[in-house]
Structure 1
Amino acid sequence: MPRTDTGSRVYAASPDRVYAALVDPAALTAWLPPKGMSGRFDRFDVRPGGSYRLVLTYADASASPGKATPDSDVVEARFVDVVPGVRVVQAVDFVSDDPSYAGTMTMTWEVSAVDTGTRVEIRADDVPDGISAEDHAAGLASSLENLAEYLEGA
């Protein structure tokens, strides 16, 4: 069944600074991988129609096996919409032989100014059945926490 997962957080940083962290591959590898993982981009072209390949590697694969290999997840994504300072929309596919991870998930990251800084809202539509709601919520929360540490030095 298609599912939508969401997350949000407010940061003590300007919208421009927050948005920059969403579209810079070096910044993304610093904060996007959830705790217990590291990431690297094999390619990255941020523009509508551009794409990326992200390899996420587990520090300890015994606790959570990877989708692509025993210790990694591989993400193939296309940028559907890129509105500077406002929104990044990606069509995401997981590389896996397991059909429970098949299908394209749409990830929307939106940035908006609020009184105390900048709000980031994440919406993941059509989350594959193989990703549990609990694990995905924890992963989104971890990435949002990592972004706070990246932006605020927390």
Structure 2
Amino acid sequence: MTRTDIASRTIAAPVARVWAALVDPVALTVWLPPEGMSGRFDRYDASPGGSYRLVLTYADASAAPGKTTADSDVVEARFVDVVPGDRVVQAVDFVSDDPAQAGTMTMTWQVTAVEPGTRVVFRADDVPPGISAADHADGMNSSLAQLAAYLEA
């Protein structure tokens, strides 16, 4: 059984600024890691067919153990579709020995102009069963809140 998780938020910024934050690795390291985590890219190529390796590190691993190591989640992803000003689609895998974390999750970030800014929809399809629905929703909403803070400051 597959699972889809969706989060969305309206951000008071034009589509062009939001889009730029979705594909800029420097911006992504600021807003993408959920609260309580930091991130760094080992590599990053946002072109269709390009890929990235993102290391997310927990500030306090005792509260939430990592999927890859005791204090980190490593994400291997490739860009399936990149439509400037519209959407980014990624095939994402967590590096983990836990079979409950296995499987490729499709993550889609879609942007649409609305009043008073941009509607951002974050959709995750085929979420691995080892990822708690509640924790995933919290993480997705945390990232969107940080994206808003980053762009609305």
**What range describes the TM-score normalised by the shorter chain of this pair?**
over 0.9
State the Cα distance separating 1:2 from its structure 2 match. 1.1
1:94-144 alpha-carbon deviations (Å, 9 max, x no partner): 000000000000000000000211000011000000001000000001000
2:98 is equivalent to residue 92 of structure 1: no
Distance 1:115 1:135 in 2: 30
* Residue 48 (structure 1) aligns with: 48
* Residue 149 (structure 1) aligns with: 149
1:12-60 alpha-carbon deviations (Å, 9 max, x no partner): 1000000000000000000000000000000000011000000000000
Distance 2:20 2:66 in 1: 29
State the Cα distance separating 1:66 from its structure 2 match. 0.2
Distance 1:37 1:77 in 2: 19
The number of aligned residues is 153
Distance 1:109 1:64 in 2: 25
Distance 1:122 1:141 in 2: 9
The secondary structure found in structure 1 opposite 2:138 is helix
Distance 2:85 2:55 in 1: 26
Alignment of 1:1-154 (within 5 A): 1-153=1-153
Question: Could you state the TM-score of these two structures normalised by the residue count of structure 2?
Answer: 0.99
Q: Given residue 58 of structure 1, which amino acid in structure 2 is its aligned partner?
A: Y
Distance 2:98 2:47 in 1: 30
Deviating 4+ runs (over 3 angstroms): none
Q: Structure 1: state its 5+ residue gaps.
A: none
Q: Given residue 63 of structure 2, which amino acid in structure 1 is its aligned partner?
A: A
The secondary structure found in structure 2 opposite 1:148 is helix
The secondary structure found in structure 1 opposite 2:66 is coil
Distance 1:2 1:41 in 2: 28
Q: Given residue 16 of structure 2, which amino acid in structure 1 is its aligned partner?
A: D
What RMSD, in angstroms, separates the aligned Cα atoms of the two structures? 0.4
